[in-house]
Amino acid sequence: MKLLEGKTALITGASRGIGHGIALKFAEHGANIAFTYLSSVEKGEALVKELEAFGIKAKGYRSDAANFKAAEELVNSVVADFGTVDVLVNNAGITRDTLLMRMSEEQWDEVMNANLKSVFNLTKAVQKPMLKQRKGSIINMSSIIGVKGNAGQSNYAASKAGIIGFTKSIAQELGSRNIRCNALAPGFIETEMTDALDPKIVEGWRSSIPLKRGGTVEDVANATVFLASDMSAYVSGQVINVCGGLLT
Ligand code: NAP
């Protein structure tokens, strides 16, 4: 069953990792896909072809989600190209991990701008087309680190916790217009990034998870499909942990 047929989704940061997986899963479910990337130009261009193979319309845009004006221009372009935006997935994010003692102002600002300000920028920009059509689903990628904190990630944790407060507020502001806003909080998701880690550390993480495995990109993408689809029509203002039971 295709759950997103006829919907247009805008996904930020889809050139790699979780965003890439979400774009493929959305296309499999029949959505037309507008997506962004920043530095991975070749991967972004390759993704268009991968998505078109599902028989849907796809277009990639090189756009910095941390830039307010660029976000506004992006949404205008997507509306011009696709006619509307039904689903926004604020997925783009970065880490600049270090202990507070060593953290520079730049490392703080970079993470807050790419992870939190980006969510404000894009949500504000899609508000107009979503209000006009009186429907929409906004999905913000938080993290269990934003719920429980983590030593060496105070900038990242603060940005991801900020996303949760923002999500709950927007759900309350826009609910009367049939616009839903939810957050996903993935746990330990195994990607190319984690492949590079010491296998002993990875094994330690896996054994601490009740389901005894790291999450896959597909696990997160499936939860995103649920929030994007009408299956979640009565779900708004929620944070769904996709963490194998690590947080309860
Ligand atoms: P990733 O592999 O590093 O991919 C990040 C994506 O975001 C890339 O496509 C990157 O594009 C894009 N991006 C970064 N800054 C951007 C900006 N300013 N404007 C536009 N695009 C930007 O990361 P990931 O592991 O898939 O994580 C995706 C999201 O899930 C992030 O928000 C992350 O915090 C969250 N998350 C991940 C995990 C995990 O275990 N992996 C757990 C919890 C939450 P370019 O490559 O083109 O620069």
For 72-92, the pLDDT digits (tens) are 999 999 999 999 999 999 999
Atom of ligand 1 nearest to the CA of 184: 44
| Closest residue to atom 28 of ligand 1, CA basis | 18
Residue 193 has pLDDT above 80, yes or no: no
What's this model's pTM, rounded to 2 decimal places?
A: 0.98
- Note the pLDDT tens digit of each residue in 133-162: 999 999 999 999 999 999 999 999 999 999
Q: What is the pLDDT of residue 25?
A: 98
Q: Which residues contact 220 (CB under 8 A, 6 or more apart)?
A: 18, 21, 22, 184, 186, 189, 242
Residue 190: pLDDT above 90? yes
Mean pLDDT of 116-128: 99
Please give the structure tokens belonging to residue 157: 């944790």
The answer on pLDDT for 43 being more than 80 is yes
In the chain, where are the structural domains located?
8-190+218-240
8-190+218-240 CATH fold: Rossmann fold (3.40.50)
> What pLDDT is stored for residue 192 in this prediction?
77
Active site residue 234: no
pLDDT at 173: 98
The more confidently predicted of residues 195 and 33 is 33
Distance 195 CA to ligand 1 centre (A): 16
The amino acid that residue 238 corresponds to is Q
pLDDT value of residue 197: 82
Instruction: Output the pLDDT for position 191.
Output: 87
Q: Which of 89, 87, 92, 117 is nearest to 183 (CA)?
A: 89
Classify residue 212 as left (phi > 0), alpha (psi -120 to 50) or beta. Answer: left
Question: Whose alpha carbon is nearest atom 39 of ligand 1?
Answer: 189
Name the residue among 142, 95, 145 with its Cα closest to residue 247.
Answer: 145
Report the pocket of ligand 1 as residue ranges, CB < 6 Å. Answer: 12-19, 36-40, 64-66, 91-94, 114, 141, 143, 186, 188-189, 191, 193
Task: Indicate left, alpha or beta for 136 from its phi (over 0: left) and psi (-120 to 50: alpha).
Answer: left
176 confidence band (pLDDT: 50, 70, 90): very high
Residue 229, phi then psi, degrees to nearest 5: -90, 170
Q: How confident is the model at residue 225 (pLDDT cuts 50, 70, 90)?
A: very high
SS3 string, the chain, reads CCCCCCCEEEECCCCCHHHHHHHHHHHHCCCEEEEEECCCHHHHHHHHHHHHCCCCCEEEEECCCCCHHHHHHHHHHHHHHHCCCCEEEECCCCCCCCCHHHCCHHHHHHHHHHHHHHHHHHHHHHHHHHHHHCCEEEEEECCHHHHHCCCCCHHHHHHHHHHHHHHHHHHHHHHHHCEEEEEEEECCECCHHHHCCCHHHHHHHHHHCCCCCCECHHHHHHHHHHHHCHHHCCCCCCEEEECCCCCC
